[in-house]
Amino acid sequence: MKNSILKFLLFKFSRPLILIVLIIVFTVFTDTFWAPDNWTNISNIILQQAPFSVLLATAMTMTIILNGFDLSIGASVAFISCVCGYILRATGNPVYAIIAGVGLGAVVGTMNGILVTKAKIPSFVSTYAMKWVLNGFALVLLGGKQIYNFGPKFRPLFISNKFTFFYIMVAVLVIVSLIMKYTVFGRQVYATGNNPEAARISGIKTDLVTLKIYLMGGMIVGLVAVMYIANLGTAEPNIGTDFPINAIAAALIGGTAIGGGSGSVGKAIFGAMIILTLQNGMVQIGVPSVWQQVIVGLVILLSIFMERGLNKLAVRYEE
């Protein structure tokens, strides 16, 4: 009995545990990852990298709850950041850029949503095709060049205070998790993800729910694109190729199950932090950066193994 309670706790808190173990391992084996008098690396992860990874993982998690994927997020970031770069160069007004970024994200998200709901194309095929189209548009806009010089107002708005990205992330996460947990819409999303047919029969407009989720995801991605060029200072059409796979790996290792109906903002946060810690720690230990893509692929495989293993454990516990 005691053994099974331990197993249950392990099951429930496995992700935080993985994160803690990773942090301890990297702290012990390297000098640069974390030390009481060396916070640069950790603050770099939390303030510079986490806002992007966590927000993208959240957008991905929302589509996975509905048993879909969004492979266009990388290309969306590339395309939207190029358009925003253009707008900033022409007007220099950050407000236009932010509105255009989030608005374009909403448009791309809606198009993905329409392809998934109305045309009923499997989401990984439609968003993958969308990725090529958006990448193409970004390349047509900039022709393989970079764009910079965004005017005097835009970048200081984001980087004058180093906590700005973090605050934006927290605000978005709070809004999304409130919507998912405490609104009728949020309940409808989980119902639709769990069993679309049953949800439809009980009166939920599943197509509309799906469309709204892709719309929300698109808006988050648009926001990330604006933050991205603010952070980098340049916009180029070739960024973001590894965003989708990192986001999927983050969502899945965070404990969001494929097949729909499960997943939350909290899981996305832990997943993204696990991936970030792993990638950062590997670099600190001295693994060449070319290995990163292999590691992310292995993490996805590992997480689907883990999901099945934990499910079996849960079934045994319930018995």
Partner 1 sequence: MNKLIVVLKKVPGLIWGSFLALVVFAILAPKFLNPLNLINILNNSSVLLIIASGMTIAILSGQLDISVGGIATLAAMTAGLYLHNVGDTSAINIILAFVIGILVGMAVGSLNGLLIGVYQYNYWLVTFSTMSISYGLSQVLTNGNIISGYSKMFRNIANHRFLGMPQLVWIALAVVIVIIFITYRTKFGMHIYAIGDSEQCAAQSGINVKRIRFSIFVIAGGLAGLGGVLLVSRTNSASPIIGFGYEFDAIAAVIIGGTPFSGGSGGVIGTIVGTVMLYAIKAGLQLVGFSVYVQQVFIGIFILSIIVVDVINQNRKKEKGSRRVYK
Cβ proximity to partner 1, 24 vs 201, nearer residue: 201
Q: Is 30 in the site for partner 1 (CB under 8 A)?
A: no
Cβ proximity to partner 1, 176 vs 211, nearer residue: 211
Among 290, 315, 318, 319, binds partner 1 (CB under 8 A): 290
Q: Is 294 in the site for partner 1 (CB under 8 A)?
A: yes
Cβ proximity to partner 1, 6 vs 294, nearer residue: 294
Q: Is 144 in the site for partner 1 (CB under 8 A)?
A: yes
Binding mask 59-78 for partner 1 (x = CB under 8 A): ----------x---------
Site for partner 1 in 112-141 (CB under 8 A): 115, 119-122, 124-126, 128-130, 132-133, 135-137, 139-140
- The 3 state secondary structure assigned to the chain is CHHHHHHHHHHHCHHHHHHHHHHHHHHHHCCCCCECCECHHHHHHHHHHHHHHHHHHHHHHHHHHCCCCCCCHHHHHHHHHHHHHHHHHHHCCHHHHHHHHHHHHHHHHHHHHHHHHCCCCCHHHHHHHHHHHHHHHHHHHHCCCCEECCCCCHHHHHHCCCCHHHHHHHHHHHHHHHHHHHCHHHHHHHHHHHCHHHHHHCCCCHHHHHHHHHHHHHHHHHHHHHHHHHHHCEECCCCCCCHHHHHHHHHHHCCCCCCCCCCCHHHHHHHHHHHHHHHHHHHHHCCCHHHHHHHHHHHHHHHHHHHHHHHHHHHHHHC
Which span (41-49, 182-190, 196-204, 300-308) binds partner 1, by CB under 8 A?
300-308
Cβ proximity to partner 1, 130 vs 191, nearer residue: 130
Among 291, 311, 312, 317, binds partner 1 (CB under 8 A): 291
List residues near partner 1 by CB under 8 A. 69, 115, 119-122, 124-126, 128-130, 132-133, 135-137, 139-140, 143-144, 245, 248, 252, 258-259, 288, 290-298, 300-301, 304, 308
